[in-house]
Structure 1
């Protein structure tokens, strides 16, 4: 192991994911970048998670297993691995996801080369039961103006693969993790208000649709949120974005309240317009499939 390389911490919050957790752990420990620590925070799992983790701990001392006696909720578990991290750089990894072998080395290289960059991720790819379904949104946020990066982030984000990118640990610790629908969006919006963000096209984070990528209803249940947030997710996210920009975002706090309200109102409208356009697109595709099915029936 090259101790001259900056230490990278990989945090894997987990709960009852024993069947897929090994894949996630092994993808982190098998990186071509060797100076890493992998932190698995077990939220009082009732399956074989503990057995799986202890088995891997016996094989590789870079893995640290933390087991909690009671389930404290997903957000606190995500926060726990961040606060325990010793690395200069940090990333979260889903307990049913995995990363390419060169993922960390590619991200570290870009972070070291440009101190203005706060986040680097690979290209997100999505799977169901191991079969690839689609590629996530691919974009970078390299504009010099912080507010432009925030606007473009909220305008482009959908699957939020950037959340599983590599970030500067100390900067990330300054940001509050919200227990709300779209809390991951607001966290990354705060990161890009501090610095630029980039995606590296050569490597990918592979995400299984199920755990943290499940339906809005499942997300609300796992976070202990009111059902109304699952019924109107984009409205909840839009309101959260407004609150984030006016009261919480790192760079926004330095600006006048008037400019913050204008920016927040614009982003609020942008998210709702994007949601409406996505809904219209889904309805058009559904109608097209129905018409096609009916036409085949009468042939």
Structure 2
């Protein structure tokens, strides 16, 4: 695991290296880059795959106390990460979280050549569904977040609809989920960072304004959406494909939100095919 110092703090990232096209994979709340492991193992021979662990609760190094960990701040942090690594012609690949759209709405997208959106937050669906609302309730209660993270040590809680049961159709290996949840379970400073994010979401009107600003992104976009998703509405996939001028929609069966876990074969094949498509003229 490599590290880079950003304005918010030190961020871990995995980099497969190589001279192939650059894919930067973005994951969601209390999830690290291992959610992409089955996708990356299929793509790494031909692509340079980079997976930052952004400060969304699965990060192992606490951020600076005064770091801007709002949705806006973390969206812009993606752009800072690309700049610090001097990456160009990047395809951003996102799951669960909605930070890439925030970067496109508010930040410098000159390093972003294309965008792949698997099921993720969009429009005003922040935080998403029952799991998102459950986190919101937990952070509002003194000690609630710490208690929630302790409860997530148990399989029954992980498969409950209000926790992770609606995030993936198939159980995720215990060691993988243990790694996701350990930082926020064991380090109060990581919980502090997670709380800062979850308590600073803007009003829905602002979220919708940011979504509309994505209409100006004139580069290729692939929307891979799960038709059975219980957290990210199916209609959002279609709306995203209509929002971007050069977007294509592919709906995927037999998957919930965590498509890299449920259908890594489909995700990898779709990214490979998308990357081989001719650029927008």
> Which TM bucket (shorter chain)?
0.3 to 0.5
Indicate the structure whose relative CO is greater, using CA pairs within 8 Å and at least 6 residues apart: 2
Q: Would you tell me which structure has more helix in proportion to its own residues?
A: 1
- Structure number with greater Rg is 1
TM-score by length of 2: 0.32
TM-score by length of 1: 0.31
